[in-house]
Amino acid sequence: MNTEPILSLHDLTTIFGDVGAGGSGTVAADRVSLALSEQPPRILNIVGESGSGKTTLVRMLLGLAEPTEGEVLYQGKDLKLLSGVERRQYLRDVQVIFQDPFEVYNPFYKVDHVLEAPIRNFGLASSKSDRRELLQKH
């Protein structure tokens, strides 16, 4: 059994603006650390006040922004060093549901359509019955 976390953040810090001598940069994330194991699967919610750094943290977690300090590791490997195949696997394992679901999901779709979409998009099941079975397991 693999005891290494599937995803870990180590002392992530992001500072926007001038951080040089005498600079007064804005700290958007300050020494954030966490580790998530692969089993059982996890759902992580990031909550906080407006301006508390949630979006910045998620952007770093997805590899869309680099931290000023610290690192994001997927299966022990720095996100910046992932190959194309590893990156695609990472994006299968780590998925984001944005704050306003009405911007992400069409309210005219049934819930099962929304839940099956990532299974279809990532080719995790070959038929509709396989998709339903996968959803029922979790």
- Mean pLDDT of each 10-residue bin along the chain, 138 residues long: 80 81 76 85 78 86 88 91 90 74 67 81 86 80
Ranges of each domain in the chain: 1-96, 100-138
- Predicted confidence at residue 111, as pLDDT, reads 78
Q: What is the pTM of this model?
A: 0.63
- Chain centroid to Cα 34, Å, comes to 12
Q: Which of 77, 87, 58 is nearest to 5 (CA)?
A: 77
Angular region, 17: left φ>0, alpha ψ -120 to 50, beta rest: left
Q: What is the CATH number of domain 1-96?
A: 3.40.50.300
Q: Which of 1, 7, 24 is nearest to 96 (CA)?
A: 7
- Predicted confidence at residue 138, as pLDDT, reads 60
